[in-house]
A and B are shown apart, each in its own frame.
Chain A
Amino acid sequence: MAEYLLIIVSAIFVNNIVLAQFLGVCPFMGVSNKLSTATGMSGAVCFVITLATVVTYLINKYFLVPLGLTFLQTIAFILVIAALVQIVEIVLKKISPSLYQALGIFLPLITTNCAVLGVAINVVTKEFTFGDAAHMLNLGEATVYALATSLGYGLAMVLFAGMREQMAQSDVPESFKGLPIAFITVGIMAMAFLGFSGIV
C-alpha cells in the first residue's frame, strides 16, 4: 500500500509530467487559456493515458516481448494509441453524449500528445524505485502510475489556466504578450515544483 502512495506522490508532484519531464507541453500551452477548456482537456488526457498505458503494457508483455519484436515498440504503440483514441471517441458518442460534448473536441488532439506515448514507453522500458529495490512495474503499478501521472498533468494544467486567466487582465509589455510570458510563468511554476524533489 505504501508503495502505491509513493508512486502517486512521485508522479503527481516530484516528477510532474509537464514541469519536470517536459511531456505534453504543446497541448499544455495550447488549451490552458481558459479554466474550462483546461479542465476538459485534463479529463480527456487522464482517460486516454490510463487506458493507453494498460493496453500497450499488455501488448508489449504478451505480444512484442515473447515474439522478440520489441524494436516495433514505437510503431505499435502509436498505432494502438491512435486506434484507441478513435474507439474512445465513437464509444463516448454512443453511450454518453454529455461527456462527449465536454471532452469530444480534445480527443483528436490527444493522438499527437507526446505525454501519452511518453508514459506508455516509460512504463515498459524504465526501472522504477519506489521505496525498495529497482524493478519494472507490474500491471497494477503501471495503472496507478499512469493515472497519477495524468492527474499531475491535470493539476499543472488547471493551476496554470487559473494564472493565465488572471494574466489576461494585466498589462504585459508588448514583446512578452502571449506565449513568452506564459513560458516564463511556467518556469517559475517549475521552480516551485522543484521544492518537492527528494521527498520520495
Chain B
Amino acid sequence: MAAVSNLKNMVLSLTLVCLVCSAVLGGVFAVTSAPIKAAEVAKTNASIARVLPAFDSEPVRESISVDGTDYAYYRVPGAGYAVISTVSGFGGPLSLMVGIQEDGMICNTVVLSHSETPGLGAKCQTDASFIDQFKGWDPASKRLAVTKDGGDVDAITASTITSRAYSAAIANAYSVYLIIAGNE
C-alpha cells in the first residue's frame, strides 16, 4: 500500500515524477517535431496545389496587414498567390484558401476549417456546383455576393449565411491580392 506521507517524501516524489515526465516529453518532442513540421508543410502544399494552377517553384509564406487584420498568403512564382482569409460563418469561423492567378482571376478555393451545420452549410466543402462556380471567376467584372444581395454568386440551398460568408472571404482575399499586387 501507499507509503506514509511526510513533507520530505511528498516533495521528493512530486519533483521526481515531474522531472521524469518532462524528460520523457522532451524526448518524444525531439523525435516528433520534424514529422509534425513535415505534416504541416505537406498539408499547406496540398491546399496550395489545389487552389493554383500547376507550379514547380517553392511557395513562400508572407503576411500583410490590411485594416488592422493580418492576412497570411503564399507567393508562388509563376502561378500566383494563395491567400488565407477567415470570416465569421453561420456556426463560427470559416477559413478559406483562395488561389488568385497573376492575371487577377480566381483559380480555385478550398475550405481550410469551418464549423458550419452538417448537411447544410458544411456543403460549402463538398457541393461541386457551388465550389466550381468560383473557378475562373473574374472579380473585376462579377460581383462576389450572393444573388439575394444583388451579386452573382448562386448560394447553397438553405444556406445563405454560409454562402454569404464564403463570398465575403473570397472578396477579402481579392482585396488583399490587389494590395499585394499593387505593391510590386
Sample of 8 A–B contacts (CB below 8 Å): A15-B92, A127-B95, A132-B69, A133-B69, A133-B172, A134-B93, A197-B117, A198-B91
Contact between chains at B87 and A129 (CB < 8 Å): yes
Q: Does B178 contact A (CB under 8 A)?
A: no
Separation of A163 and B149 alpha carbons in the complex (Å): 43
Contact between chains at B21 and A131 (CB < 8 Å): no
Separation of A165 and B172 alpha carbons in the complex (Å): 51
Residues of B with Cβ closer than 8 Å to A? 21-22, 25, 29, 69, 86-93, 95, 117, 161, 172
Q: Does A130 contact B (CB under 8 A)?
A: yes
Contact between chains at B88 and A130 (CB < 8 Å): yes
Separation of A108 and B44 alpha carbons in the complex (Å): 43
Least Cβ–Cβ distance between B24 and chain A, in angstroms: 11
Contact between chains at A197 and B91 (CB < 8 Å): yes
Q: Which residue of A lies closest to B84 (CB)?
A: A134
Residues in A neighbouring B172, C-beta threshold 8 A: 133
- B69, B93, B172 pick with most chain A CB within 10 angstroms: B93
Option from B86, B93, B161 in Cβ contact (under 8 Å) with A198:
B161
Q: Does A135 contact B (CB under 8 A)?
A: yes
Least Cβ–Cβ distance between B177 and chain A, in angstroms: 16
Chain A, 106-140, contact with B by CB distance < 8 Å: what is the 0/1 string?
00000000000000000000011111111100000
Option from B21, B22, B86 in Cβ contact (under 8 Å) with A134:
B86
Least Cβ–Cβ distance between B121 and chain A, in angstroms: 9
Contact between chains at B29 and A198 (CB < 8 Å): no
Option from B86, B89, B161 in Cβ contact (under 8 Å) with A133:
B86
Separation of A51 and B29 alpha carbons in the complex (Å): 30
Q: Which of A184-200 contact B (CB under 8 A)?
A: 197-198, 200
Q: Does A95 contact B (CB under 8 A)?
A: no
Residues in B neighbouring A129, C-beta threshold 8 A: 86-89, 92-93
Q: Which residue of B lies closest to A126 (CB)?
A: B93
Separation of A153 and B87 alpha carbons in the complex (Å): 27
Separation of A197 and B161 alpha carbons in the complex (Å): 11
Separation of A71 and B25 alpha carbons in the complex (Å): 8
Separation of A132 and B88 alpha carbons in the complex (Å): 7
Which 10 A/B pairs are nearest by Cβ-Cβ distance? A134-B86, A129-B88, A133-B69, A129-B93, A134-B93, A198-B90, A71-B29, A127-B93, A198-B161, A197-B91
Residues in A neighbouring B93, C-beta threshold 8 A: 127-129, 134
Contact between chains at A134 and B25 (CB < 8 Å): no
Contact between chains at B95 and A134 (CB < 8 Å): yes
Least Cβ–Cβ distance between B97 and chain A, in angstroms: 13
Q: Does A67 contact B (CB under 8 A)?
A: no
Q: Does A2 contact B (CB under 8 A)?
A: no
Least Cβ–Cβ distance between B104 and chain A, in angstroms: 22
Separation of A47 and B53 alpha carbons in the complex (Å): 53
Least Cβ–Cβ distance between B118 and chain A, in angstroms: 12
Separation of A128 and B86 alpha carbons in the complex (Å): 10
Q: Which residue of B lies closest to A197 (CB)?
A: B91
Q: Does A72 contact B (CB under 8 A)?
A: yes
Residues in B neighbouring A15, C-beta threshold 8 A: 92
Q: Which residue of B lies closest to A128 (CB)?
A: B93
Contact between chains at B69 and A135 (CB < 8 Å): yes
Q: Which residue of A lies closest to B95 (CB)?
A: A134
Residues in A neighbouring B88, C-beta threshold 8 A: 129-132, 134, 200
Least Cβ–Cβ distance between B51 and chain A, in angstroms: 19
Q: Which of A59-80 contact B (CB under 8 A)?
A: 71-72, 75
Least Cβ–Cβ distance between A81 and chain B, in angstroms: 16
Separation of A27 and B88 alpha carbons in the complex (Å): 32
